[in-house]
Chain A
Amino acid sequence: MSNMEAEVYITGVGLTKIHEHWNKSLKHLAFEAIDQCLKEVNYKRPDVIVVSNALGSFLQNQNSLSGLIAENISLIDIPNLKVEVGELSGAAALNVAYNFIKSGMYKNVLLVGVEKTSDKLPIEYNTAIASFLDNEYFTYNGITPSALYAIVYKLYMKKFGVKQEHIAQFASHDHKMAMNVDHSQYKFPLPVEKILSSPILADPIRLFESYPVSDGAAAIMLSSKDQVENKDYAVKLDYVSLSTDKSLLYRDDFLYFKSLHSSFERLKLASKIENKDIDFIEIHDSYTIASPLILESMGYTERGKGYVLLIEGQHEKDGVLPMNTHGGLKARGHPIGATAIYQVIEATLQLREKARNQVPNPEIGLVHSMSNIADQSALILLKR
């Protein structure tokens, strides 16, 4: 980082409970999160609004969403834009916001992630989710993201001789963490037996191994260093690293997230950190099988051993690598375009030492996001 570049801080955060918000619209949800966030910065006026939303144009038939949200909060004399990169929209929007400040272009950027998926029929929702894949190649032929994960899951178990009960435990972990988190969608324990006896979604994936249908909005104020007023609350957004891979069926190795590996290598080089320096991680575990693949691709365990740290209790809040301390995608929920913003807020709460499942004295937190099966990966590094 050259001296010319500005440092970026998270100065305010706001979020709604993740829920089936039947009676709230996209702009209503966004308003709630923004209002909370602006309150934290004494209603400081942002220079630009960046909105992350993946499915509004599909499910709500709503484009120009950023303009609508800006108008709804009467921020009409500043620019706005919307970012859509599938499930990774939140991280991609954050990357834009981050660089707006880093380049010196703006000093305060309001970033809002919002998604509303529950008020559609299952077929409409699944069609929308499948639109993240190459339509001509996959979706047209009836292949959905869960079908692809099912292939990966079977292959993983076969190649490494791992049992499903090992993998399914990642969902139990998420549920255990979410129990005391106010904004999480599901606050009940989920034993492995219950997961393995739930209906099959796409063989071998069980219903309770998948993320739920979620609505929610989350907002962050990103500011340059000179704009930080409350030093105790500000968390440094140190680095954002994004990378892309070929779509699954063109890869040599189905069981390794190359895009994640390369974005992690770049991040480590740029920030001069090692795996061991990371005090906690929030991962994009859309399906249980994603978790071991993420940990393995980042080099936290050997190939085929991604579940070992979990079994050893190393992902608990006082473990070697505390993970998904607010419930992850499975239990906190997965409001698609808003998910990464929720993750970043959760990491911010950890670094402010205000989290419900507080990690002891954290200095560095990492947020992982991805689209589909690591078709694109994002890593966001936060520092106290």
Chain B
Amino acid sequence: MKTFYTVSIIGYGAYVPLRRIKAIEIARIWGKSEKVLPLEEKSVAALDEDTATMAVEAAYNAILRAKIQPNEIGAVFVGTESKIYTVKPTATVVAEALGITPTTLASDYEFACKAGTEATQTCIGLVGSGMIKAALAIGSDIARGRPGDELEYTAGAGAAALILARSGIYEDVAEIEGTYSFVTDTPDFWRREGQIYPMHYYRFTGEPAYFYHSREAALRLMNELGLKPSDFKYAVFHQPNSKFPQEVAKSLGFTAEQIKPGLLVPLIGNSYAASSLLGLTATLDIAKPGDRILITSFGSGAGSDAMSIIVKDGIESKRDLAPKTMDYITRRRYVDYALYAKHRSKYNK
């Protein structure tokens, strides 16, 4: 999918909460073998954090890098599956906090872990058609896993934001080369109305869901753009655990080096709608002008968005204008299971 006008990322921002819990600590509670843990540790949002506060943190960093007046932003979309209200948009809270209201579009997107890239694509469409000048796409989630369930080891928290505008108007960080979406009705993971924790279909979440959709979206995008894995300097895939992104990258022909900067899951867990976008912000933090980056999200239910971007000169002057992704990741405080349960309100749910 391509736009009428060329579109670029002009600002980006990340946010990861301060607290961490080690997978081994969760395993201690549930008597699970240390040898089969899906990652090392995951981020834990504090009692006073939610999807909106994290979205604001990430978007604020994106605005700093974009060097844009908030009221120039014509759309705010928050991709999340952990909305603070079932009915009432998160995006209006975020837009108001950042001074973007009142003349803006604002709404929430939900597509499991790919709502953030879906929001990004909508922004690309809106600015690429000339309807609005700049748009803000955010992926923000405090993932939920039932105590004792496999998901509890990986369900992390984080937010990432991108500001998009027509190329050449602002200082461009990276240009969008093309996007591709691939979606089917595949029920691998879901949460019904009124349920607190999601359900998942174990191994069905692998090949028929994550791998099939990620592979198809990435392959079809590369095919459409006439590109091959070696044309990319970096690649980012959705990160539900440590194994899946590495496996899908390998099967497509990407090397461990290509995915290394964006592979954050061993340290922060799966931040759902923010997961692949955080991988992108971490990669942008170290990328050089001219580098081509592939980002492929995956959302259960199921689908993948793939996007190819080329880093522009603006990256050099902009990356230091806000805290980097790794700054948040290395800033950490460990909690035990009891404190984790308090912060995630597990005692009263």
Contact = CB atoms under 8 A, between A and B. Distances in A.
Nearest to B206: A20
A358 B303 CA distance: 45
Contact of A200 (B33, B201, B204, B207): B33
B203 A20 contact: yes
Given A22-B207, A22-B208, A199 B201 contact: no
Given A121-B201, A121-B202, A199 B207 contact: no
Looking at A22, A198, A199, A200, which has the most chain B CB atoms within 10 Å of its CB? A22
Given A197-B35, A199-B35, A199-B36, A23 B202 contact: no
A7 to B, nearest CB: 45
A185 to B, nearest CB: 13
A197 B35 CA distance: 8
10 contacts: A20-B203, A20-B207, A22-B208, A118-B204, A119-B204, A121-B201, A121-B202, A122-B202, A199-B35, A213-B203
B146 to A, nearest CB: 13
A200 B31 CA distance: 11
Q: Is the interface of A mostly helix, strand, loop or mixed?
A: loop
Interface of A: 20, 22-23, 118-119, 121-122, 197-200, 213
Contacts of B204: 22, 118-119
Contacts of A200: 33
A118 to B, nearest CB: 7
Contacts of A199: 32-33, 35-36
Nearest to B35: A197
Contacts of B35: 197-199
Contacts of B201: 119, 121
A200 B33 CA distance: 8
Contacts of A119: 201, 204
Interface in B193-222: 201-204, 207-208
Contacts of B36: 199
A23 B203 contact: no
A199 B38 CA distance: 13
Given A122-B202, A199-B36, 14 more contacts: A20-B203, A20-B207, A22-B207, A22-B208, A118-B203, A118-B204, A119-B201, A121-B201, A121-B202, A197-B35, A198-B35, A199-B33, A199-B35, A213-B203
A84 B33 CA distance: 37
A197 B36 CA distance: 10
A3 to B, nearest CB: 54
Nearest to B36: A199
Interface in B167-207: 201-204, 207
6 pairs of A and B residues whose beta carbons are closest in the complex: A22-B208, A199-B33, A199-B36, A197-B35, A122-B202, A22-B204
Nearest to A119: B204
A199 B201 CA distance: 20
Contacts of B33: 199-200
Contacts of B202: 121-122
A213 B202 CA distance: 12
B185 to A, nearest CB: 13
B200 to A, nearest CB: 9
B209 to A, nearest CB: 9
Interface in B26-45: 32-33, 35-36
B227 to A, nearest CB: 29
A22 to B, nearest CB: 4
